A and B are shown apart, each in its own frame.
Chain A
């Protein structure tokens, strides 16, 4: 079974630009979560989608947005990039969003975003 696929692996953007990251979950998984990981802050939750609906959202500004398509693939968009947005962005899929106990997160390899 293929794992979670994130594209692209690396991105270099300049301040003020916008960026779109893509995530394809494990086949059959309908829940997709996005995280930002930085050395200082650790893993910070961005949002979670299940069946094309946003179920939870973290404490990030409105410049961070996402969506999920009918095939469960998800995209995350960051507009008006700031230097502080430089981070590893991780996508994780699971079979269900918090329903039942055994729905662990399976992470992709991440997209490393550098804002200059």
Chain B
């Protein structure tokens, strides 16, 4: 079992709909969780970070964290074609090392 698991996709979502991306992790003591977006041929860029249980909203993006169930999710509202990318979930271990999921490829269909 991988430490950080994501569905590889591709996840296809119609433009304007909500895209829901999920990530589960195995290290119970992890405290910091990140979502990075990576466009094809580009480097990852941070879009959201979350540290406490519950929801954190930033514009069209909402990160949700449930430490008891060991999952973190990313919701993208009003999806746009420009949101088409691979979304990487990263979890920071207690030794500060970041562990990455393999990423979910999201396709927003116009």
Checking B45, B97, B100 against A43 with a beta-carbon cut-off of 8 angstroms, the contacting residue is: B100
Tally of contact residues, B, Cβ under 8 A: 21
16 contacts between A and B (CB under 8 A): A33-B98, A41-B102, A42-B101, A42-B102, A43-B88, A45-B97, A45-B98, A45-B99, A56-B97, A90-B44, A98-B92, A98-B96, A101-B49, A104-B34, A104-B46, A105-B98
Q: Does A66 contact B (CB under 8 A)?
A: no
Contact with A along B17-42 (1 / 0, CB 8 A): 00000000000000010101000001
CB proximity of B50 to chain A, nearest CB, Å: 10
Cα-based distance from A97 to B92 in the complex (angstroms): 11
Asked whether B43 lies within 8 Å of A108 as measured between CB atoms, the reply is: yes
Cα-based distance from A48 to B96 in the complex (angstroms): 10
A105: nearest residue on chain B (CB-CB)? B46
Cα-based distance from A101 to B32 in the complex (angstroms): 7
Q: How many CB-defined contacts (below 8 Å) exist between A and B?
A: 48
Cα-based distance from A43 to B102 in the complex (angstroms): 7
A47: nearest residue on chain B (CB-CB)? B97
Asked whether B43 lies within 8 Å of A107 as measured between CB atoms, the reply is: yes
Residues in chain B within 8 A of chain A (CB atoms): 32, 34, 36, 42-46, 49, 51, 88, 92, 95-103
Checking A90, A101, A102 against B43 with a beta-carbon cut-off of 8 angstroms, the contacting residue is: A90
Asked whether B43 lies within 8 Å of A110 as measured between CB atoms, the reply is: yes
CB proximity of B51 to chain A, nearest CB, Å: 6
Interface set, chain A 87-116, CB cutoff 8 A to B: 90, 97-99, 101-102, 104-110
Given contacts A97-B96, A98-B96, 7 further A-B contacts (CB under 8 A): A42-B100, A56-B95, A56-B97, A58-B97, A98-B92, A98-B97, A105-B36
Q: Does A63 contact B (CB under 8 A)?
A: no
Cα-based distance from A56 to B98 in the complex (angstroms): 10
